[in-house]
Structure 1
Amino acid sequence: MALSANNPVTLLNWLHQTSTVAMLGRLAVAEGAITHALLDRLVPAVPARHLRQVLIAHRLLPERDRHLSHLEQWFETKLTGLGDADEARALRGYLSWTHLRRLRNAGKPTTPGAVASIRMEINSAMMLLDWLRARERKRKLANCTQSDIDEWCMSTGRTSHRGRRFLAWCAQRGLVGDVVIPVAPGSGARTVFENEDTRWRITRALLNDAPSRPPIAWPVCWHCSIDRRCRELCG
């Protein structure tokens, strides 16, 4: 047996753990061959993880991208807390076609950093969906407006921008209207106004549009006016 090839002391210590005994008991009554899918279902997970590595080392199980596998398991657990079937389907489609397909075709193991980045995207998207469904809004992804998105961005700061790609993916497939999460401040080149006329023309346009889009109009107008006053004082 593959386990017997391990260091005897290490093996005995592992076998004497209560969690290992519980896991092996569940494995003994499981039906079918030992597979990655079967080991995924075993609890406790820590001794099952050790058994998996032993079986892989002795070529009794095929190699597997463990970070990618952990991402998939994490996502399925997260998805159970999402009550809307359409939104769950959208999240699953986004993860599958945007990230999982790319990682599976990469030809190299998935890194922990890549998984962490994807998890932040999914968390941000789920936070947006929860925020839209809150009692005072009662919105769904399909009927949210740009004003909703602007308010979300203003209320959550940089966290909101991590859901930008998910929202763009949904918009391309008609799952949401013509809405967009703007690029995070500082993530690209800054716009420099050619002259004061351009600056104040934009300010007037925002002020006129302010009743319909207050979350974004007023901060921009404030920035324009303060910036000019500072330059007057320092000039």
Structure 2
Amino acid sequence: MTATPLTCDGCGREGRRYRRGLCGACALTEDLQAVLDDGHGSIRPELLPLFEGMRQMDNPRAGVSWLRRPHVAEMLRILASPDTAITHETVDAMMPWRSAAYLRDLLMHHGVLPAVDRHLLLFKRWLAEWLAGIDDVEHRRLLERFATWHLLRKLRTIANRQPLGMKRNQDARRVLVQAAAFLTWLDDHNTRLDRCTQADLDAWHATAFLARRSAQAFLRWCMATGHMPKLAIPTRSTLNPAPISQRQRLALIRKALSDQSTPDRDRVIALLVLLYAQPISRILRLTLDDLMHDGDQVLLRLGDPPSPVPEPFAGLLLDYTQTRPNTTTATNRDSRWLFPGRRGGQPLDPTTIQSRLSKLGILAGPGRSAAIRQLVLQTPAPVVARMLGYDADTATRLATAAGSPWSRYAPGDHEQ
């Protein structure tokens, strides 16, 4: 029987044909077989998990478009060669680095490469390139020692416990950039690091204090290791951002619940900030397993015990879980993240969602401060802390500052 225009010549399934009579899935399979060929007409065995994972993606056309990029096809051909070791070091050498990072995420997600914190790898790659651009040999050597023995050691320790996330990556870079700026400032003022005075340190901090504060970890390390005299590092109060008013908070909650022109993902994240005082970094680590049911009651595990989710937020949250973005490609097809990102096995990037919330008139810091302030006014601080995953002492201090009638509440069993 002759195939109709709605029947794939490859698999025989009905559906729109993509090219030469093939559906999108068969076209993607054909392209994958071409770029992953080991030179003998077969796919390199180590890459079979990647092949199987990609060809089953719900949006095969996205995969075909990705493979059409010349540098992507070249990177995959390199890995397909039996002469190439499939290691993190091999991917490190690939360019452009953003495409290599995306490929690495896919390889880790499908088990081809062992899982390593992607932000630790990105920082190490950035560090090597950044150090190579520093002309002053002494500065470069000192900054490399500081990065190796202080920053990288700290990042590795954190990565062994939990994902680093983009913020820690960016913070570590900011420390080094400001450290280099301090060394350059000393040179411009004809001063050596080992002869830096308190007046020098104060003068450097006098302008752009908030930016230059990032260098303080470097300054403390230099003092502890004898590279500079022990001096007093200038400090300024850095209080939590002022909370928005309760009226503003309620208006934003109503908008997030009712504004159907805003993507459900953004509305859900906004409500987690405004109702449950959750930081963006913690929200993005939530998984589908943190969403639970107790009869008709929807619960969300933010602490212990889980927090109830009232209507209409419960309905919005459940609807969102059925339409989560970024689950139609090979990167996060079976993701358990509540907010899956575009990179393999990774949740949504915090910088992206902060930008989207800002466009809605929601600043995460002030919104979260307003929420936690209101919550500790209504409920004992230790109870709020347990349910929302806050430190008990922090919640108690916030309750005292807010004038909470529960500020003297003693946690424990009050039913005896």
The separation in 2 between residues aligned to 1:142 and 1:179, in whole angstroms, is 11
Is the Cα–Cα contact under 8 Å of residues 146 and 178 in structure 1 kept in the other structure?
no
What is the identity, as a one-letter code, of the residue corresponding to 1:123?
V
| Distance in 2 of aligned mates of 1:46 and 1:30 | 25
- 2:169 corresponds to which residue? 115
Q: Which residue of 2 aligns with 1:9?
A: 61
Q: Is 1:138 paired with 2:190?
A: yes
Q: Which amino acid aligns with 1:2?
A: P
Q: CA, structure 1 residues 75+140, in 2 after alignment: closer, same or farther (shift >3 Å)?
A: farther
Question: Amino acid of the residue matched to residue 135 of structure 2?
Answer: G
Change (3 A) 1:13 1:93: same
Find 1:47's aligned residue among 99, 105, 108: 99
1:37 corresponds to: 89
- Equivalent in 129, 133, 138 of residue 86 of structure 1: 138
Give me the whole-angstrom Cα distance separating, in 1, the residues matched to 2:61 and 2:152: 40
Report the Cα distance in structure 2 between the residues aligned to 1:179 and 1:114, rounded to whole angstroms. Answer: 27
2:212 to 155, 160, 177: 160
How far has the Cα of 1:63 moved from its partner? 0.2
Q: Which moved more, 1:90-99 or 1:117-126?
A: 90-99
| Greater Cα shift, 96-105 or 56-65 | 96-105
C-alpha contact 1:132 1:141 (8 A) present in aligned 2: yes
Kindly indicate whether residue 112 of structure 2 is the aligned counterpart of residue 65 of structure 1: no
Structure 2 unaligned runs (5+)?
1-47, 240-416
Using the TM superposition, give the Cα deviation of residue 51 of structure 1 relative to its aligned residue in structure 2, in angstroms: 2.7
Going from structure 1 to structure 2, the CA distance change for 1:127 and 1:45 (only over 3 Å counts) comes to same
Q: Could you tell me how far 1:155 is from its partner in structure 2?
A: 3.2
Whether the 8 Å CA contact 1:68–1:110 is kept in 2: the answer is: yes
Write the distance in 2 (CA, Å) between the matches of 1:141 and 1:31.
Answer: 49
TM-score by length of 2: 0.40
Partner of 1:186: 237
Q: How many angstroms does 1:167 deviate by?
A: 0.9
Give 4+ residue runs of structure 1 displaced > 6 Å after superposition.
Answer: none
Letter in 2 for 1:169: W
* From 18, 24, 27, the counterpart of 2:70: 18
Structure 1 portions without partners, runs of 5+: 189-235
**Amino acid of the structure 1 residue aligned with 2:237:** G
Contact 2:105–2:118 (8 Å) recurs in 1: no
User: If the length of structure 1 is used for normalisation, what is the TM-score?
Assistant: 0.67
Q: Whole-Å Cα distance in 2 between the matches of residues 91 and 47 of structure 1?
A: 28
CA distance in 2: counterparts of 1:102 and 1:114, whole angstroms: 10
Deviation at 1:61, TM superposition (A): 0.8
